[in-house]
Every structure is written in structure tokens, then in C-alpha cells.
Structure 1
């Protein structure tokens, strides 16, 4: 098996040294490891080194991770982002299917990230675009999703509920529009669960602010568009607790 050439780009020298040691000790797929604390210097060297895999910090003083990648498009290597971002932003990685490591980096996470990078290959420009926009919107009441027609930006307050459809999910909006996204309901749940959304059933996630009526006896919710949705009985008490019913 051909050993992979790896490059680390991170402005924190201690982080670079630790990651280099971890790669050499725990990741047998990795051969040569080159490390840079200056993204500008790394830019000069990457085209010469032609790495298979780049571990890239997002926030750096000279160039951030996205500016670094933009100068190397189209990418010829796989990317694993290194981040200290908050939980919502980390979920944006999952939504765009990009891989990441959170500081401090744990060995098990590193081994899994390397294996995934080998299996999946380089990220697409669309994945990077979705993720970058998702991060920018992290403090805004919107999400950026990859739909069948492209990238769609949706205000969370416009979502009535989300319905599972095999390996896809359907976002049902206030105006009646339905947006199909190529993510499972579980993937969507990871993005929305810390906002004003709640999974009431294996089939549905609802916007708690758009509930009109709850029939506790029949476990049926009526949404603002008068659509009735079944609530799983094991979720009934959790739902009541969400609304603070006494």
C-alpha cells in the first residue's frame, strides 16, 4: 500500500507538534508528514509536495482555512479541518459531509478521520461552499442546505416541519413549498435540535413555534397549516415538557 503524504497547516506550534507525533504513531497509512505554522509558507510548499491529505486549521492570522483552499482550487488532496468551533458550527461540518477534528485532538478521532479521508477522497467545491456559508450563518436564523436543485438558504422560522422520506428529508415551509434535501432525518435533527425544533416521531421533526394544537389523548399535533402529525407515545411527555405545560 502506498503511504500517504500529509501536510499540517496550523499557526499553533504546540498543536502542530502533537498532531505530527499522533500521525506518526497511530496512523500507519501516513508516510511523510510536513508541518507549517504559516499558511503563506504552506501555500508555496503544497504545490511542490503534492500531499494526499492536508490537516488545516480554520482560524489563522495570515489566511483562514477557506482563503488557503481558494488559492489551491481545484483541490488535488483530501482535507481534514481542525477547529475549536462551538457545537452548532461543528454540526455544520456534518451537514456538508466534511471531516473535522476538534482541539484537543483525540487519537480515536484522528484514526477515524484519516480512514474516512482515504475512503472518501477530496471534498467538492459545493461541500466547501455549503460549509463556509453555514458557518457564516451560525449566528443567524438560517441554514444553508444542499437540495436537488442547488444550495438553498432557508429561514428557520419558515419551516413548519421536516418529514422523512427514505434517505432524504422534506422541509415543509409556511408558504406550502417543499424542499427536498439529500440528508436523512437524523442528519437534519443534528442541525436543528438545539434550535426551536423537536423530533416527535421517527417520521417528523416539528418547529415548536408553529404548533396550533396538541391532542394528548390521540397523540396528534396540529400545525399552523392544519396538518396533523402523529406524536410517538415515548415522545409525548418530552413534548409537553418542552412547552412547559402544567
Structure 2
């Protein structure tokens, strides 16, 4: 069982989330329901939870300020937010799990499943998310979670991403390969906001790193590294639209 604390200044939201967890996530035991940030801080210090479901916009002390008061983070964190789609990108880029209010049951179950394997959120992820939430620009880096932490990689240094079961393997311009604990679909949601495109069920490519498109019986790309990447037939049109080719 994972011991959870719920912190949200709206009592109805706390009650609803607690009910959803009880009904659909039996691996979660809610040990504290808090409608004030001060209560939440006390609960974290006294209950030593495995996971905290945390609202951001709260009076007196918002979610980020609460986390700063906690000190060392020994738990997984799931933000529960009413932020709009643009702001949510900050959580995606920082590899922090989040739920939009009201929480969708399927998304809640997926978030809980993720934290079963990754039971800690790192301070660097929170700082990065906070920084991006105050910025009007999309970040130039992406956070790649792995077993023992998080690596921040410049987007321009990524040649392409390759599916590897439930993981994504990032191939970098310097020859390094990084295995991130995200599916290629998760990665696609983030990278296609920028200069990337999923050209095949197995591959997402950096459009700036494409050297040539070879057409014929089977279409494929030649990357700046010389690597050949297949292009699915139904994705070739999307690729050409992104470049505005004639």
C-alpha cells in the first residue's frame, strides 16, 4: 500500500479525490485529508507519506511554498491543478505528474501506476516546473526521469527518440543514449510542441537534425548523424506539411 496525503484548499475537491482513490486505486491508503496548507505541511512531517496530491493555488502558502518548507522530499508528488493547458506544459517538461481538476478516473489510475515505480520527486523537477510556470516561453530543455533521478537535456541536442517497450531511448548528437522511464506517447505529447515529429510508431525525430528524405518503396530519413529512420506512409504527409515542402 502507498500512504497518501491530499492537500487542497477546496474541501469538496479533497473529498472527491479521496473517494476516487478509494474506489479506483486500491493500492492507495489516504492517511490525511487537508484543506489548509499549514495542515498539509504538518501532515507531511508527521505521517511520512509515500505520495502527496497537492494543489498549487492556495491562500497563505501555495503549493510551491509548502514544498520549500518541507525540506528533503522523500515522497512522490502529483500536482492537482486547475491551470490551463499552456501552464500544464511546465509539468510535462519537468516530468512531474499532474492531474487537472476534476481528476479524470483513467488519468488518476495512470498517475498512480507511474508513482508505484518512481516513489520520489526530485527538488530539481519542482524548481524547473516553477521556473517554467513564470515564463512566457517554452523551455529549451526537457527533464528525463530515470531510475535514480532526473537528467535535463537540451532539446537541440536530441537527434531522435526510439520506443523501447514502456521506455523511450533518447539518441543525442554527441553519441550518448539515455533511457527515460516514459513511453514514446508521453514523449510525443511534449516534443511535438516544439521542432519534433513522430514519423513512425517507433520513432520521434528532431526536424532540425534531418538531412534527407528518401522516397520509394519505403520512405526513410537520413539524420545528421547518418542514421536512417523509417517514415510511416501515413506520416509522410505530416512531415511534408511541417516543412512546407512543395
State whether TM-score is above 0.5. yes
Query: In the superposition, relative to structure 1, how do residues 99 and 232 fare at CA in structure 2: closer, same or farther (>3 Å)?
Result: same
Equivalent residue, structure 2, for 1:189:
188
Partner of 2:211: 212
Q: Which stretch shifts more, 67-76 or 90-99?
A: 90-99
Q: 1:41 to 1:198 in 2, by over 3 A?
A: same
Classify the secondary structure of the residue corresponding to 2:70: coil
CA distance in 2, matches of 1:142, 1:33: 35
Within 2, Cα distance between the matches of 1:163 and 1:21? 38
Note the residue ranges of structure 2 that are not aligned, 5 or more in a row: none
Matching of residues 20-59 of structure 1 within 5 Å: 20-21=15-16, 23-24=18-19, 27-28=22-23, 34-37=33-36, 39-48=37-46, 54-59=52-57
Change (3 A) 1:86 1:155: farther
1:69-120: CA deviation from partner (whole Å, max 9, x where unpaired):
343355576643211334466466567765432123345555x379649x82
Q: Does 1:245 align with 2:241?
A: no
1:19 aligns with 2:18: no
2:221 matches 1:221? yes
Alpha-carbon RMSD across the aligned residues, in angstroms, is 3.8
Counterpart of 1:83 in structure 2 is 81
- Decide whether aligned partners of structure 1 residues 116 and 205 sit closer, same or farther in structure 2, where only a CA change above 3 A counts: closer
Given that 1:220 and 1:229 are in contact with CA atoms closer than 8 Å, whether structure 2 keeps it comes out as: yes
**How far has the Cα of 1:17 moved from its partner?**
2.0
Larger Rg: 1
In the aligned structure 1, how far is the partner of 2:241 from the partner of 2:119?
Answer: 41
Give unmatched runs, 5+ long, in structure 1. Answer: none
Give distance in 1, aligned partners of 2:141 and 2:21: 39
Cα drift, residue 197 of structure 1: 0.4
DSSP-derived class of the 2:194 partner: coil
Query: Are 2:213 and 2:219, in contact at CA under 8 Å, matched by a contact in 1?
Result: yes
- SS at structure 2 position matched to 1:63: coil
Q: Could you report, residue by residue, the CA deviation over 1:3-53 in whole angstroms, capped at 9, with x for unpaired residues?
A: x98644223x3xx2243145348725667763323x134323554566676
Counterparts of 1:191 and 1:229, CA distance in 2: 20
Inter-CA distance 210–25: structure 2 relative to 1 (3 Å threshold): closer
Partner Cα separation in structure 1 for residue 202 and residue 187 of structure 2: 12
Take 2:81 and 2:232, find their aligned partners in 1: how far apart are those partners? 37
TM-score, scaled relative to structure 1: 0.71
> Secondary structure of 1:82's partner?
strand
Q: d(CA) in 1 for partners of 2:110 and 2:228? A: 42
Structure 1 distance, partners of 2:112, 2:144, is 26
Equivalent of residue 116 in structure 2, options 91, 103, 120: 120
Query: Quick check: 153-162 or 88-97, which moved more?
Result: 88-97
Partner of 1:231: 231
Give the aligned partner of residue 154 of structure 1: 153
Inter-CA distance 65–195: structure 2 relative to 1 (3 Å threshold): same
Three-state SS of the structure 2 residue aligned to 1:71 is helix
Distance 1:72 1:232, change over 3 A: same
